A and B are shown apart, each in its own frame.
Chain A
């Protein structure tokens, strides 16, 4: 039986974060990786860019082709991990092979959610998640005219944008009364909707698919409001759910996702989890929740790696965050999404220039700490806000400066500024 010091189940951002973390401190330990898909590690997040023609197939790869060789990783490609024996510390693969582990990382990712609508099993229905989705979409696009995207979230809208740019008629169907409702407020949603309208994408709000028409292929759809739209390609982009089937019956605790502590260890010693299959600590809310985002997967994997190799580290930098661009509109958000409906008692500092599609909104707690923000139109230097939020800096003294498009460290009070930049500047020379 093959035995590994470190065994990784999964082959995306979390796995790579773990391998790079491991190899930064342990050059020798044996690493094994089990991947259900047989492709070299690729980035799901690049699917829209590929369909947009911005990159070719080769550039879907997230790391160079020799990455695993150079990192000394033994690959088990096209194999599915079926069970974990937590007592014997073994994983069984499809086909019966067993692999022993010292430390195990579960980076099994998420699976696209398909709402319970009958007819979503037809041949021209795809999610926007995997290499095989991409291949199916590409084939279908050869003859498609009308594309329907179910879901007006980040993934759905990215799909809608690139398909519109390919000259297709695109319809987006969203259950909520606005797009991107989980991550943006009403004002920002409106600006995004406007961008799509201008581009000629039809968005149906407060709506969903009532009936799917067609035998083997979807031909048209009847919506909840009674309208009927033609459909040659249906993309389901309503989100992902953690893939946790591997841990069922193992005693590893699951609560919305595989439960982990801040070191990314599960409830069973020597077993770690990260990425879309796991939960994350949200430093803004203090809650443990799924945060299915690329940086969280990578950093969760990297943090797990250090702990797996015996160097204690915690991952406490995760929260909800997105960088988005739709047509000419750039958007960044992070932290709490405070809307008109859940305004609460937060202090809001904001400015809106609707005609120029510029919007900035900051959410402050009682003690002046940043709890969330939305930037629309101008996103330069946005990371500074994430840094201020992570460090729980009291921003009240300069809160109006946050609205300045040229915000930077120079706008902070001197003492705070030089404290934050102490590694970067030399003071006291005159």
Chain B
């Protein structure tokens, strides 16, 4: 499986990856509708880390030996043996936060509204990985193995 990698030196800290990640995971996939009209606030699964002048964006690394999968009490988190993606089943997630406890990157986030967690799904089912394709300075790239 490939990986999304960050190029901190060319990241401008514009947060557009967060915006487009939220859109990618919204109902309408439309930026205006998603932020203005959807009932649930669209949330990003990527986080721009900032300590100016340093900025870079990271999301779930889809680890080889994912601690979150080991810690998940409900079976909601699994590592797909074919694709290698760490997948999250919302129907099973109870919001125990064991994954928040164990993710070494701190890249599993809490949705305060649903109290479940949200994480990067590599834009499964979409035509592109939104954080990568919408980064105006190519500070996020998808690298195949």
The answer on a CB contact under 8 Å between A379 and B100 is yes
In the bound complex, do residue B49 and residue A425 qualify as a contact, i.e. CB atoms below 8 Å apart?
A: no
Q: Is B124 an interface residue (CB 8 A)?
A: no
Contact-size category for B:
35 or more
Question: Closest CB-CB distance, B116 to chain A, in whole Å?
Answer: 10
By the criterion CB–CB under 8 Å, are B51 and A323 in contact? no
CA distance A272 to B70 in the complex (A): 19
Bound CA–CA A55/B92 (angstroms): 8
8 Å CB contact of A379 from B9, B74, B91, B110: B110
Contacts A323-B96, A383-B67, A410-B51 given: A430-B9 contact, CB under 8 Å?
A: yes
Find the A residue at minimum CB distance from B75.
A62
- Min CB distance A338 to B, Å, is 19
Residue from B97, B101, B106 whose CB has the most chain A CB atoms within 10 Å: B101
Known A410-B50, A414-B54, A430-B9: A380·B102 in contact at CB below 8 Å = no
Cβ of B6 within 8 Å of any chain A Cβ, yes or no, is yes
Interface residues of A in 1-50 (CB under 8 A from B): 17, 24, 43, 45-46, 49
Q: Are A295 and B70 in contact (CB under 8 A)?
A: yes
A323–B56 touching, CB < 8 Å: no
Which residues of B are found within 8 Å of A390, using beta-carbon distances? 104
**Closest CB in chain A relative to B64 CB, distance in Å:** 10
A424 near B103 with CB under 8 A, answer no
Question: A301's closest neighbor in chain B, by CB?
Answer: B70
Residues 46-60 of chain B, each 1 if its beta carbon lies under 8 Å from chain A, else 0: 010111001110100
- B101 near A409: Cβ-Cβ < 8 Å: no
Which single member of A54, A323, A411, A428 contacts B98 (CB below 8 Å)?
A: A323
Question: CB-CB < 8 A to A423: which residues of B?
Answer: 61
Say if the beta carbon of A298 comes within 8 Å of chain B: yes
CB distance from A281 to the nearest CB of B (A): 16
CB neighbours (8 Å) of B6 from chain A are: 424-426
Known: A54-B94, A409-B49. A294 touches B58 (CB 8 A): no
| B105 in the interface (beta carbon within 8 A) | yes
| A59-B74 contact, Cβ under 8 Å, with A386-B101, A424-B58, A425-B8 | yes
Closest Cβ of chain A: how far from B112's Cβ, in Å? 10
Max chain B CB contacts within 10 Å: which of A45, A295, A386? A295
A330 to B94, CA, bound (A): 14
- A382 interfacial by beta-carbon distance below 8 Å: yes
Separation of A358 and B51 alpha carbons in the complex (Å)? 23
- Give the residues from 103 to 121 in chain B that come closer than 8 angstroms, CB to CB, to chain A: 103-106, 108-110, 115
CB distance from B20 to the nearest CB of A (A): 20
User: In the complex, what's the smallest C-beta–C-beta distance from A93 to chain B, in angstroms?
Assistant: 27
Docked Cα-Cα span, A49 to B116, in Å, equals 12
**A302 CA / B67 CA spacing, docked (Å):** 12
Whether, in the assembled complex, B44 has its beta carbon less than 8 Å from a beta carbon of chain A, the answer is: no
With a cutoff of 8 Å between Cβ atoms, the chain A residues found around residue B42 in the complex are: none
Query: Does A429 count as interface, using CB distance less than 8 angstroms?
Result: yes
B41 sits at the interface (CB 8 A) = no
Q: How far is the CB of A72 from chain B (nearest CB, A)?
A: 14
A192 CB to closest chain B CB, in angstroms? Answer: 15
**Complex partner residue of B5 from A45, A59, A334, A424, CB under 8 angstroms:** A424
Q: Which B residues are CB-close (under 8 A) to A295?
A: 67, 70-71, 98, 102
Contact in complex: B106, A382 (CB < 8 Å): yes
Which residue from chain A places its CB closest to the CB of B4 in the assembled complex?
A: A424
Is A187's beta carbon under 8 Å from chain B? no
Q: Is the CB of A411 within 8 A of B101?
A: no
Asked whether, in the complex, the Cβ of B103 is within 8 Å of the Cβ of A409, the reply is no
The answer to the question of A299 belonging to the interface, with a C-beta cut-off of 8 Å to chain B, is yes
A409 touches B97 (CB 8 A): no
Instruction: Given A379-B100, A408-B47, decide whether A43 and B109 contact each other with a Cβ distance below 8 A.
Output: no
Given A43-B75, A383-B106, A411-B51, A325-B101 contact (CB < 8 Å)? no
A410 and B54 contact, CB distance less than 8 A: yes
Expressed in whole angstroms, the minimum distance between the Cβ of A151 and any Cβ of chain B is 19
Question: Is B33's CB within 8 Å of the partner chain A?
Answer: no
Cβ of A426 and Cβ of B5 under 8 Å apart? yes
Given B10, B73, B100, B115, which contacts A430 in the complex, CB threshold below 8 Å?
B10
B residues with a Cβ closer than 8 A to A are 3, 5-10, 47, 49-51, 54-56, 58, 61, 67, 70-71, 73-75, 81, 91-92, 94-106, 108-110, 115, 141
Residues of A within 8 A of B (CB): 17, 24, 43, 45-46, 49, 54-55, 59, 61-64, 294-295, 298-299, 302, 317, 321-323, 325, 330, 332, 334, 379-384, 386-387, 390, 408-411, 414, 421, 423-430
| 3 A-B pairs with the lowest CB-CB distances in the bound complex, closest first | A381-B106, A387-B104, A410-B49
Cβ contacts A to B, 12 pairs, < 8 Å: A59-B92, A295-B98, A298-B71, A322-B101, A323-B98, A323-B100, A410-B50, A410-B51, A425-B6, A426-B7, A426-B141, A429-B10
